[in-house]
């Protein structure tokens, strides 16, 4: 009997294994376009010529409330591949190369565990090196045809034709437009100029370029989808199309406005993989969806339970989870300039909080300087003919809070944060933001130099103890709390926690606390260089830039930490002519424009800081 029982057990094991092996799992073809807002016919844009994507939407599911977590590619892609908040794992800065925990896994690894063949022939750009098991093959030679017979695949294809570069380099835009049929071409006269740009020929031309680049990417996507059909794979493949963040033009890319974060997202599911709960082909879904949800959703559609601990959720498939009440976005360093802004969106109302309103909302960036939109907007702003709320993104200082009704104001031009009728809503958004920052452990309250040092001490950024950040949100709230924050800021000047001292000296400058000048002067010799340079910046804002301040800044420029050098250069750019004695130090740093990653940014940052210091 024991022998018969063993045979029966073995038979059932083989039978169950055969049934499991025979259960079809979908292929996943993921199509990513760079820097693209929902300029598609299927999203109601009548100027767009996008027959391929429109057909995909007619055969699939269109998500009308899909959002990136950041308005720039690397942090957004970090969230997509990891299903985790970049601010929690330290990958929030554009660009960076953070160390992950030894057991860190990205979502393709879980598909590979289930037998998938994973390829990425193009761009990754995650702000960290992909863990070894993420992909089977990457680079131009990676192809789904290299998988084993019958093996399901995950293939990610990236299209850069819609990136900011082709929209602002006219020669590239002209070449892409030349590939279009006449009826697909958008001319500068046809575009509508949004209120946050001046109406100039240069602005109109770049906006037309955006449309034409989208039409060209649509052509190329058609070729890929035809290949899928020609190989008989269309009925076995779930196709996912999305943009990694909003349009690659000034005031949208890198920012946190509604248009910065809202993206197209379309999922086409073949009939064999649909269930009763699957939205019907051609339908639109209005629930809040984050691009961070893509990985969990693919696992769910493949019948795999997403692992615990992920921040993204499955929005389709058998493991679907409820939609959240709020989505969040973050803006941190981009190239060599840091901002610390956060966004909250509830499907209609859009809240933006700037924790560093002392810094320019639109700092310089070498990658944007050739943009006709940026050049014309700056020129007319300086001339005094392009001003007011629509030009707030060009001012020297930021707005502490912004609140927009995106239903009536999709371009976010009318800030309602000071409207008494919105007091309760504002409090709700503030509360939601604070709860989220504490829950996910928002590491950006640490200046990047401190995050890097602490990450090294603890092994990786996500291991930084939460208690080191505990008091930072309250200290960073100084611009909101006004003079009521003075006592807390003053007490924090003596903290053993360098991050608390940093926010204390920064907050006193934001409050224009002239009575704190002697205390700030003492911190020019702070043992942490980031605190010392922040004290020099606050003193400058209070009208005091003397030899001691310049020496603190010089020490920052000579630091062995590239992060401290970057932080110092940004402050010198803001200080301007008062930093003229530092010109020899700045000139020395302009020569570093080659990799490694951070050193390259220092060369560009030094150029802009030197130019500001030389202004009359």
For residue 608, what pLDDT is reported?
A: 96
pLDDT at 534 over 50: yes
Q: How far apart are CA 85 and CA 271, in angstroms?
A: 33
Query: How confident is residue 596, by pLDDT bands cut at 50, 70 and 90?
Result: confident
Higher pLDDT, 358 or 10: 358
Lowest mean pLDDT among 201-215, 285-299, 411-425, 599-613: 599-613
- Give mean pLDDT, residues 535-551: 98
Query: How confident is residue 24, by pLDDT bands cut at 50, 70 and 90?
Result: confident
Strand positions, DSSP E, 374-532: 401-405
Supply the Cα-derived Rg of the chain in whole angstroms.
26
Q: How far apart are CA 83 and CA 309, in angstroms?
A: 9
Query: How confident is residue 275, by pLDDT bands cut at 50, 70 and 90?
Result: very high
CB 451 within 8 A of CB 461: yes
Two tokens, residue 312: 């993204």
Higher pLDDT, 16 or 113: 113
> 3-class DSSP state for residue 19?
helix
- Model pLDDT for residues 347-402, shown as the tens digit of each residue: 999 999 999 999 999 999 888 999 999 999 999 999 999 999 999 999 999 999 99
Q: How far apart are CA 545 and CA 525, in angstroms?
A: 14
405: exposed, middle or buried (Cβ count in 10 Å: 0-12, 13-18, 19+):
middle
- Model pLDDT for residues 321-334, shown as the tens digit of each residue: 999 999 999 999 99
Sheet holding 137-138, edge to edge: 137-138, 117-120, 153-159, 27-33, 237-243, 265-268, 61-63, 283-285
Query: How confident is residue 467, by pLDDT bands cut at 50, 70 and 90?
Result: very high
Q: What is the DSSP string of 519-562?
A: HHHHGGG-SSHHHHHHHHHHHHHTT---HHHHHHHHHHHT-S-H
For residue 595, what pLDDT is reported?
A: 73
Q: How far is CA 260 from CA 191, 227, 331, in A?
A: 19, 32, 11
The dihedral region occupied by 62, where left means phi > 0, alpha psi between -120 and 50, and beta the remainder, is: beta
Query: What residues are paired with 63 via a beta bridge?
Result: 265, 285
pLDDT at 101 over 50: yes
| Mean pLDDT estimate for the chain | 95
For residue 113, what pLDDT is reported?
A: 98
Query: How confident is residue 14, by pLDDT bands cut at 50, 70 and 90?
Result: very low
Percent of the chain with pLDDT over 90: 93
Query: How confident is residue 546, by pLDDT bands cut at 50, 70 and 90?
Result: very high
Query: How confident is residue 13, by pLDDT bands cut at 50, 70 and 90?
Result: very low
CB proximity list for 64: less than 8 A, separation 6 or greater:
43, 284, 285, 286
- Model pLDDT for residues 181-197, shown as the tens digit of each residue: 999 999 999 999 999 99
Lowest mean pLDDT among 250-259, 444-453, 476-485: 476-485
Q: How far apart are the first and last CA of the chain?
A: 98
Eight-state DSSP code of residue 195: T
CB 285 within 8 A of CB 60: no
pLDDT at 15 over 70: no
Two tokens, residue 165: 């570069």
For residue 17, what pLDDT is reported?
A: 36
CB proximity list for 86: less than 8 A, separation 6 or greater:
69, 70, 75, 78, 79, 92, 127, 330
For residue 323, what pLDDT is reported?
A: 98
Q: How far is CA 101 from CA 110, 292, 393, 463, in A?
A: 17, 19, 37, 8
Query: What residues are paired with 153 via a beta bridge?
Result: 117
Cα–Cα–Cα angle for 409, 210, 96, rounded to 5 degrees: 85
Q: How far apart are CA 502 and CA 611, in angstroms?
A: 27
- Give mean pLDDT, residues 573-578: 97
Query: How confident is residue 229, by pLDDT bands cut at 50, 70 and 90?
Result: very high
Query: How confident is residue 616, by pLDDT bands cut at 50, 70 and 90?
Result: confident
CB proximity list for 333: less than 8 A, separation 6 or greater:
93, 94, 96, 339, 448, 566
For residue 600, what pLDDT is reported?
A: 83
Instruction: Tell me the H-state helices in 96-160.
Output: 107-113
- Give mean pLDDT, residues 169-173: 98
For residue 23, what pLDDT is reported?
A: 53
Q: How far apart are CA 87 and CA 74, in angstroms?
A: 13
pTM of the model: 0.95
pLDDT at 8 over 70: no
Q: What is the DSSP string of 340-357?
A: -EEEEE-SSEEEEEES-T
Q: How far apart are CA 540 and CA 331, in angstroms?
A: 25
Q: How far is CA 498 from CA 81, 142, 451, in A?
A: 33, 47, 11
Instruction: Tell me the H-state helices in 441-497.
Output: 448-458, 472-476, 478-481, 486-492
- Model pLDDT for residues 403-444, shown as the tens digit of each residue: 999 999 999 999 999 999 999 999 999 999 999 999 999 999
């Amino acid at each position: 009997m024991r022998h018969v029982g063993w045979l029966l057990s073995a038979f059932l094991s083989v039978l169950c294994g055969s049934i499991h092996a025979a259960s079809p799992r979908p292929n996943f073809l993921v199509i990513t376009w760079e820097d693209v807002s929902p300029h598609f016919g299927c999203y109601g844009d009548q100027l767009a010529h996008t027959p391929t994507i429109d057909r995909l939407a007619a055969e699939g599911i269109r998500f009308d409330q899909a959002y990136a977590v950041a308005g720039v590619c690397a942090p957004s892609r970090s969230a997509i591949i990891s299903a985790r908040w970049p601010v929690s794992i330290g990958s929030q800065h554009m660009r960076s190369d953070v160390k992950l925990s030894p057991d860190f896994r990205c979502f393709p690894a879980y598909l590979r565990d289930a037998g998938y063949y994973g390829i990425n022939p193009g761009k990754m750009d995650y702000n960290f090196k992909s863990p070894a098991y993420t992909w089977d093959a990457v680079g131009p030679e990676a192809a789904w045809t290299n998988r084993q017979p019958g093996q399901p695949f995950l293939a990610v294809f990236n299209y850069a034709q819609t990136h900011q570069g082709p929209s602002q380099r006219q020669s590239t835009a002209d070449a892409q437009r030349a590939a279009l049929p006449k009826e697909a071409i958008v001319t500068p006269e046809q575009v509508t100029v949004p209120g946050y740009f001046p109406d100039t020929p240069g602005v109109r031309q770049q906006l037309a370029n955006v449309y034409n680049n989208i039409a060209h990417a649509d052509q190329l996507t058609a070729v890929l989808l035809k290949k899928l059909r020609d190989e008989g794979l269309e009925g076995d493949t779930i196709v996912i199309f999305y943009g990694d963040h909003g349009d690659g033009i000034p005031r949208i890319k890198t920012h946190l406005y509604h248009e910065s974060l809202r993206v197209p997202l379309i999922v086409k599911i073949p009939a064999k993989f649909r269930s009763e709960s699957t939205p019907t082909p051609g339908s639109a879904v209005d629930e809040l969806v984050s691009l961070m949800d893509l990985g969990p959703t693919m696992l769910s559609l493949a019948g795999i339970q997403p692992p615990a601990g992920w921040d993204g959720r499955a929005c389709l498939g058998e493991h679907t989870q409820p939609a959240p009440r709020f989505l969040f976005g973050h803006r941190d360093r981009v190239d060599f300039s840091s901002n610390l802004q956060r966004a909250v969106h509830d499907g209609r109302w859009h809240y933006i909080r700037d924790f560093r309103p002392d810094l320019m909302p639109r700092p310089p960036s070498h990658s944007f300087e050739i943009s006709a939109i940026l050049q014309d907007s700056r020129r007319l702003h300086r001339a005094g003919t392009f001003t007011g709320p629509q030009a707030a993104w060009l001012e020297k200082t930021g707005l502490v809070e912004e609140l927009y009704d995106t239903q009536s104001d999709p371009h976010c031009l009318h800030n309602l944060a000071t409207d008494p009728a919105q007091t309760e809503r504002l409090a709700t958004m503030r509360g939601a933001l604070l709860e989220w920052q504490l829950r996910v452990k928002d590491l950006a309250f640490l200046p990047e130099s401190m995050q890097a040092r602490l990450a090294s001490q603890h092994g990786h950024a996500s291991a930084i103890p939460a208690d080191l950040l505990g008091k930072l949100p309250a200290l960073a709230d100084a611009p909101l709390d006004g003079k009521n924050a003075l006592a807390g800021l003053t007490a924090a000047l003596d903290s053993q926690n360098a991050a608390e001292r940093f926010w204390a000296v920064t907050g006193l400058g934001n409050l224009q606390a002239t009575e704190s000048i002697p205390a700030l002067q003492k911190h020019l010799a702070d043992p942490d260089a980031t605190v010392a340079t922040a004290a020099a910046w606050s003193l400058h804002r209070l009208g005091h830039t003397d030899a001691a301040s310049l020496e603190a800044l010089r020490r920052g420029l000579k630091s062995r930490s590239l992060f401290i050098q970057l932080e110092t250069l940004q402050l010198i750019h803001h200080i301007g002519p008062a930093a003229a004695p530092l010109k020899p130090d700045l000139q020395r740093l302009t020569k570093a424009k080659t990799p490694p990653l951070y050193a390259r940014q220092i060369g560009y940052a030094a150029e802009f800081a030197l130019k500001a210091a030389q202004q009359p």
